[in-house]
Amino acid sequence: PPVRLGDYRPPDWLVDTVHLDVQLHPTAARIRARLALRPNPEGREGSPIVLDGDELSLKSLTLDGVPLAGTAYVVTATALTLLAPPQRALTLEIETVVNPSANTKLMGLYRSSGTYCTQCEAEGFRRITYFPDRPDVLAVYTTRIEAEREEAPILLGNGNPVESGPVEGTSRHYAVWHDPWPKPCYLFALVGGRLDRIADDFVTATGKKVELGIYVEPGKTERAGYAMDALKRSMRWDEEVFGCEYDLDVFNIVAVADFNMGAMENKGLNIFNDKYVLASPQTATDADYANIETIIAHEYFHNWTGNRITCRDWFQLCLKEGLTVFRDQEFSADARSRPVKRISDVRLLKSHQFPEDAGPLAHPVRPSTYREINNFYTATVYEKGAEVVRMLKTLLGEEGFRAGMDLYLDRHDGDAATVEEFLACFADANGVDLTQFALWYAQSGTPQLAVSGTWDAATHRYRLDVAQSLPATPGQDQKQPMVIPLAIGLVGPDGRDLPLTLDDGSNAERGVLRITEPRQSFVFRDIAERPVPSLNRGFSAPVKLSSDLSTADLLFLARHDSDPFNRFDAAQTIALGHLVAASAAARAGSDVPVPDALVEALGATLADGALDPAFVAQALSIPSEADVAREIGVDVDPDAIHLARTRLRRAVSAALAPQLAATYDRHAPAGTYSPDAASAGRRALRNSCLDLLAAGGTPDALARAQVHFDTADNMTDRFFALAVLAHAAPQAREPALAAFHERFRDDPLVVDKWLALQAQIAEPEALERVRGLTRHPAFAWTNPNRVRALIGSFAGLNPTQFHRADGAGHALLADAVIDIDGRNPQLAARLLAAFKSWRSLEPGRRASAEAALRRVAAKPGLSPDASDIVGRSLE
């Protein structure tokens, strides 16, 4: 049965302290848990004690030291219930045994390449011991970990180290950790293994010294330096920008090779997918470095937004995730180029969240019901959740936002809080009413804004008419108008912004219009010449905007808008408009000419020496096939889109070849590789030029790509050139792929890039190639990174081949999901979400997608995770 937000009740029993004694063993780890419980004054009187459990073997159970009679409790597959416990403070001692080696779900206690580690969010702690596994039960944990010294010389827990030493007369040793901060069990973690460490320290704003450690597989410490640097910068930034200081004596990060997600913010002991820790110039791209910086920051920032203030229940997930993504975005914006960061964040939002909002898996930023919480770690909760926080800042201004944050951090420290409580802090600190704003958390779907402008030459007035609407989404037929902060500018003929003086003198504070009604008009005065409106500057609201801007207006903005985001977006809008028309033409067997304005806009951007290279690289990107599919929305034919996009890239390449070549040459690498933003920006621009040049397919361009590949001295350039060769130069493809594999065969994270690239080749052979690679020795169905690299890239990034007209791509994913589901349901459910836009396909492909989904649905013993996704997808 689904869980519903409205059914929330406080826990009947609270846990004050937890003492764990964990005996690590490959197949029979023994966990003794001593829980100090007491009835919750806010709970129901006389309640049984119900503790969650999953795949546990119960060995013993005592209450206040006395073994419990078999009639006093009931054990099922999901719970241990004490039927009539004394209604007072009491102590339970529970002994369970689990098998870490057989734990292929990678939830609870498992082994990754011989290292013991844990993952408890959302509901994994119940796979370690019986416990009220819900985020509003906060306890103080002490953990003793014992293991064979040979097998696990390193033993780590939450909080501060207390003591450690040998277990006399044995080959074992132990360590005790104590975490003074009450926390929910999803933040529990332990690690035991043979790991190398890099150490550093950090002195906090109030002068406390924190020992920092990053633990990695033996021999890989050199690759952890960048993560350590990012960690120290994150710690400083959070003090300076949010006043958040670290609160333990140590902070440890452990990188593991088998991990279902990116990383996890366990108190004082973050555990990471090693892909987001390990980097060296030879093995990681600039994008990898940027991801590491952001994710290290993200997990660290959870220490306050997530850990010190946690969530009352899992419906409130965005309370920590949306806010923490917003914080990591701001950190990266400060560390790098703010406009470029905004462009890439918005591209991510549009490519991952917009389709979610437009399809059968649409859900509010704060869902009101779920069957499987693990399926709600989504782009909507994370990325749209961050946009909602960003809008709050746009509406309240820098100072008002900070006042609200300060109040939140102060008022709710130590709490398991709700979205309402979060919003109340901003309302109280600013004396405003956020009732309508709260709809952003409750209504799913992407709002649509239609904007048109009229200039009156006689009165020097300019009027903007704005209409908002929100399409129906699953479970939500009726929608209410939202409050939408629309940042705008009116750009005069000389490219300068005109003053935004409204007719009634109100409402354009900081250039932001507040849209609150279904239809609204804004009249600006003293506008002596016809301006071009620059709308939704900086993407101030996560909406789909349509306007009456002409191609000439867009070209003007692409060249002159003072807002870098809209400068970027104007050219993208021209390109997207063309690609939609050209896709329809391609489907009908014809072609449409490429608009001169687009070539002109791209050429002008290339020629503008004042622009940041990283920005130019973004501006040169042609909207992806998925972008075009989303824009078309119904009856999508991926082959037609691919043809239209290929033609456009070839035309742009032909028109701009000399300029592209000159820009490429001007950005030749100088000196040794450094991952800093400026150097990365130069590489990005040079590589974008190479990519567009190669899209022309000329011998000169392909020769350039080959030289680029052969002479690269870092992974960014080497891998980019490999991708260009693999996509654009079929005759150079195999030798280049083979050389790359030979060089990096012992490096799983690099092999992942090799797998992912091959899965994305937009040719019919891709399917057999992917099948073949599943049998390659480098591939392993049990490792989530391998599976996501090969199968995830095929389903998510190769639209023509995944959506093959013969249905073989859909069938491949269904087969993979059915196979994976038996071992790792979370991974299976993630892959299955690649069908999220299946209803927008043309009828033939829609039928094969539906057949694939139905085949998965029919699998006997399908996991709750996968069946939740297929169920909602087919509803």
Catalytic residues: 299
Size of the site for Zn ion (CB under 5 A): 2
Q: Does 321 participate in binding ligand ARG (rule CB under 6 A)?
A: yes
Answer whether the bond into residue 122 is a cis peptide, omega within 30°: yes
Give the H or E element holding residue 765.
helix 765-774
- 747 secondary structure, DSSP code: -
Q: Does 246 participate in binding ligand ARG (rule CB under 6 A)?
A: no
Q: Does 3 participate in binding ligand ARG (rule CB under 6 A)?
A: no
Q: Does 832 participate in binding ligand ARG (rule CB under 6 A)?
A: no
Residues 389-448 that bind ligand ARG (CB under 6 A): none
Closer residue to ligand ARG in complex, CB, 137/264: 264
Which of ligand ARG, Zn ion, none is residue 377 near (CB under 5 to 8 Å by kind)? ligand ARG
Q: Does 818 participate in binding ligand ARG (rule CB under 6 A)?
A: no
Q: Kindly indicate which of the ranges 257-265, 409-417, 646-654, 724-732 contains the residues binding ligand ARG, using the contact rule CB under 6 A.
A: 257-265
Give the Cα separation of 652 and 605 in Å (integer): 13
- 43 secondary structure, DSSP code: S
Q: Does 365 participate in binding ligand ARG (rule CB under 6 A)?
A: no
Q: Kindly indicate which of the ranges 7-15, 85-93, 263-271, 724-732 contains the residues binding ligand ARG, using the contact rule CB under 6 A.
A: 263-271
What mask of x and - would describe binding to ligand ARG in positions 274 to 303, judged by CB under 6 A? ------------------------xx----
Residue 867 CB neighbours (<10 A): 20
Angle between helix axes 748-759 and 765-774 (nearest 10 degrees) is: 150
Which of ligand ARG, Zn ion, none is residue 264 near (CB under 5 to 8 Å by kind)? ligand ARG
Listed residue (380, 401, 668, 591) closest to 510, CA to CA: 401
Size of the site for ligand ARG (CB under 6 A): 11
User: Are the CB atoms for 310 and 320 separated by under 8 Å?
Assistant: yes
The tally of CA atoms less than 13 A away on the side-chain side of residue 269 is: 23
Q: Kindly indicate which of the ranges 278-286, 324-332, 406-414, 645-653 contains the residues binding Zn ion, using the contact rule CB under 5 A.
A: 324-332
Nearest approach in angstroms of CB 306 to Zn ion is: 7
User: Are the CB atoms for 104 and 782 separated by under 8 Å?
Assistant: yes
Q: How far apart are the first and last CA of the chain?
A: 16
Which of Zn ion, ligand ARG, none is residue 374 near (CB under 5 to 8 Å by kind)? ligand ARG
Nearest approach in angstroms of CB 259 to ligand ARG is: 10
Pairing, β 190-193 against β 154-157: antiparallel
Nearest approach in angstroms of CB 378 to Zn ion is: 12
Closer residue to ligand ARG in complex, CB, 226/376: 376
Q: Kindly indicate which of the ranges 39-47, 58-66, 259-267, 631-639 contains the residues binding ligand ARG, using the contact rule CB under 6 A.
A: 259-267
Q: Kindly indicate which of the ranges 260-268, 434-442, 620-628, 862-870 contains the residues binding ligand ARG, using the contact rule CB under 6 A.
A: 260-268
Cross-strand pairs, 155: 192
Token representation of residue 339: 């406009």
Q: Does 272 participate in binding ligand ARG (rule CB under 6 A)?
A: no
Closer residue to ligand ARG in complex, CB, 105/479: 105
Token representation of residue 7: 């059914």
Q: Does 318 participate in binding ligand ARG (rule CB under 6 A)?
A: no
User: Are the CB atoms for 6 and 368 separated by under 8 Å?
Assistant: yes
- 156 secondary structure, DSSP code: E
The 3-state DSSP class for residue 558 equals helix
Q: How far is CA 575 from CA 182, 564, 567, 650, 871, in A?
A: 53, 17, 13, 13, 36
Nearest approach in angstroms of CB 595 to Zn ion is: 42
Q: Does 254 participate in binding ligand ARG (rule CB under 6 A)?
A: no
Closer residue to ligand ARG in complex, CB, 299/561: 299
Contacts of 633 (CB under 8 A, 6+ apart): 358, 840
Give the Cα separation of 350 and 338 in Å (integer): 18
Closer residue to Zn ion in complex, CB, 294/837: 294
Angle between helix axes 748-759 and 730-744 (nearest 10 degrees) is: 160
Give the H or E element holding residue 652.
helix 638-666
Closer residue to ligand ARG in complex, CB, 379/652: 379
Provide the residue count of the chain: 875
The 3-state DSSP class for residue 641 equals helix
Closer residue to Zn ion in complex, CB, 383/553: 383
Closer residue to ligand ARG in complex, CB, 73/314: 314
Binding ligand ARG (rule: CB under 6 A), the pick from 31, 63, 122, 284 is 122
User: Are the CB atoms for 865 and 357 separated by under 8 Å?
Assistant: no
Closer residue to Zn ion in complex, CB, 316/324: 324
Q: Does 752 participate in binding ligand ARG (rule CB under 6 A)?
A: no
Q: Does 379 participate in binding ligand ARG (rule CB under 6 A)?
A: no
Nearest approach in angstroms of CB 747 to ligand ARG is: 25
Give the Cα separation of 791 and 828 in Å (integer): 11
Contacts of 777 (CB under 8 A, 6+ apart): none
Which of ligand ARG, Zn ion, none is residue 21 near (CB under 5 to 8 Å by kind)? none
Residue 215 phi, psi dihedral angles, 5° rounding: -105, 130
Contacts of 841 (CB under 8 A, 6+ apart): 635, 636, 638, 803, 849
Q: Does 258 participate in binding ligand ARG (rule CB under 6 A)?
A: no
Q: Does 374 participate in binding ligand ARG (rule CB under 6 A)?
A: yes
Nearest approach in angstroms of CB 749 to ligand ARG is: 19
Q: Does 348 participate in binding ligand ARG (rule CB under 6 A)?
A: no
Q: Does 261 participate in binding ligand ARG (rule CB under 6 A)?
A: yes
Closer residue to ligand ARG in complex, CB, 94/257: 257
Which of ligand ARG, Zn ion, none is residue 261 near (CB under 5 to 8 Å by kind)? ligand ARG
Give the H or E element holding residue 81.
strand 79-82
Token representation of residue 535: 């709308």
Nearest approach in angstroms of CB 401 to ligand ARG is: 22
Closer residue to ligand ARG in complex, CB, 307/621: 307
Which of Zn ion, ligand ARG, none is residue 553 near (CB under 5 to 8 Å by kind)? none
Contacts of 1 (CB under 8 A, 6+ apart): none
Binding ligand ARG (rule: CB under 6 A), the pick from 179, 217, 265, 631 is 265
Give the Cα separation of 552 and 566 in Å (integer): 15
Q: Does 263 participate in binding ligand ARG (rule CB under 6 A)?
A: yes
Nearest approach in angstroms of CB 377 to ligand ARG is: 4
Residues 82-121 that bind ligand ARG (CB under 6 A): 121
Q: Does 831 participate in binding ligand ARG (rule CB under 6 A)?
A: no
Nearest approach in angstroms of CB 625 to ligand ARG is: 28
Contacts of 701 (CB under 8 A, 6+ apart): 653, 657, 690, 693, 694, 728
Where are the alpha helices (H) located in 667-714, listed in sequence order?
677-695, 699-711
Binding ligand ARG (rule: CB under 6 A), the pick from 56, 175, 255, 264 is 264
Residues 748-807 that bind Zn ion (CB under 5 A): none
User: How far out from the chain centre does Cα 848 lie?
Assistant: 29
Nearest approach in angstroms of CB 340 to ligand ARG is: 23
Which of ligand ARG, Zn ion, none is residue 122 near (CB under 5 to 8 Å by kind)? ligand ARG
Binding ligand ARG (rule: CB under 6 A), the pick from 174, 237, 377, 408 is 377
Listed residue (548, 523, 515) closest to 455, CA to CA: 523
User: Are the CB atoms for 633 and 641 separated by under 8 Å?
Assistant: no
List residues binding Zn ion (CB under 5 A). 321, 324
List residues binding ligand ARG (CB under 6 A). 121-122, 261, 263-265, 298-299, 321, 374, 377
